[in-house]
Chains A and B, each alone.
Chain A
Amino acid sequence: GAGVSQSPRYKVAKRGQDVALRCDPISGHVSLFWYQQALGQGPEFLTYFQNEAQLDKSGLPSDRFFAERPEGSVSTLKIQRTQQEDSAVYLCASSLAGTGANVLTFGAGSRLTVL
């Protein structure tokens, strides 16, 4: 597609529920990133994929967070047993080449609200 597509745009979950957020990057983009943006804050790095390989997951806040990109295109961020502090906008970004120094194209984000 023309841009990075994320779904759902909005998700409301009860505390303790599992959620899955989808990212469809720009076709042909090698690198894919997930960021978490709390209200009034800048985005914070969660994890990085180069094709299907998850090369960096140092930003994932706990083992309740899991990301995958099995075929090197679409990626899913899964959050198990959601907590209120997980409420944020989850941004996906992709870039053509395989290093973090390249220009990122961000999606519009998935806004998660945990009640």
Chain B
Amino acid sequence: EDQVTQSPEALRLQEGESSSLNCSYTVSGLRGLFWYRQDPGKGPEFLFTLYSAGEEKEKERLKATLTKKESFLHITAPKPEDSATYLCAVLAGGGADGLTFGKGTHLIIQP
């Protein structure tokens, strides 16, 4: 069974304090690992897709990396507007159509 575990469940940082969120996964044949951001009362918003170990992608203050067992979302010098829940998801091989999501990391950036 495909599994995605995110840690920590919640993280409170001061503005400018860099940190990393972890996503550990177990999947039969990874076709893609996805990071989404979700604000309260809204649907998830796409951030990144990673396909193979060693791949990295960046967008503004966010950088996602991938190994064979886990992915990290690095947040550099965060701002209060980066506060949100960050969701990690995997798409398995074998013809699966739906993403398997983790529970998310609730990130709060204090000014």
Contacts and interface: CB of A to CB of B under 8 A. Distances in A.
B46 A103 contact: yes
A66 interface: no
Contacts, number: 60
A4 B87 contact: no
A44 B102 CA distance: 9
A25 interface: no
B97 A55 contact: yes
B64 interface: no
* Interface of A: prevailing SS: loop
Interface of B: 4, 31-32, 36, 41-46, 49, 87, 89, 91, 96-104
Interface of A: 4, 33, 35, 40-46, 48, 55-56, 58-59, 91, 93, 99-101, 103-109
